[in-house]
Amino acid sequence: MELNKEARTIELLKEKFEDQILLIESPYNFLTVTLKADKIIEVIQFIYSNSETQYQYLTTLCGIHYPDQNQIAVMYQLHNLPSNHRIRLKIFLPIENPTTPTLTTIFAAANWLERETYDFYGVIFSGHPNLKRILNVDDMLIFPMRKEFPLEDQRREDKNDALFGR
């Protein structure tokens, strides 16, 4: 009996990177593998070049702030176009020093995605050819997608919270 593509991908990852895997799940039927951050580029290079996996299309790369864990996740979604299979890889970085290697050595398209993730979350992609803000002004001191600031001005006196169900 032949394994399906996702099961085979998990098997191959466990054979080569079992010590790097923290969690394997399939929320909404989307294979998601949470990894230690150490060897994320090696893992992606492996599933890119392996003849059985061939995840050679980078769908997206973005940051996710988890303030209760004091971490920022970097999420990579890759696609095997011929077989139409997808995989999501996640790594967690400490908020004090969110640094990981650049993926531009494998995917040129990672350039803008990493710049956007830097711009909004402050993730440093070491080795990136041009890591600077892409949408916000260069002299901005904060990373606006981090959940470090309240959504509303807490000093406002002109609104009645009872009218907003609070």
pLDDT, one tens digit per residue, over 110-119 is 999 999 999 9
Residue 3 pLDDT class (50, 70, 90 cuts): low
Q: In 10 A of CB 103, how many CB atoms?
A: 24
Strand partners, 120: none
pLDDT digits (tens, 9 = 90+) for 31-50: 999 999 999 999 999 999 99
Determine the pLDDT at residue 156.
72
pTM of the full structure:
0.88
* HSE toward the beta carbon, residue 12, CA cutoff 13 A: 18
Q: How far apart are the first and last CA of the chain?
A: 57
pLDDT value at residue 90: 98
60 forms beta bridges with 77
- Residue 1, pLDDT > 50, answer no
Q: How many CA atoms lie within 13 A of 74 on its CB side?
A: 30
Q: Which domains does the chain have, with CATH numbers?
A: 5-149 (3.30.460.80)
The reported pLDDT for the residue numbered 165 is 67
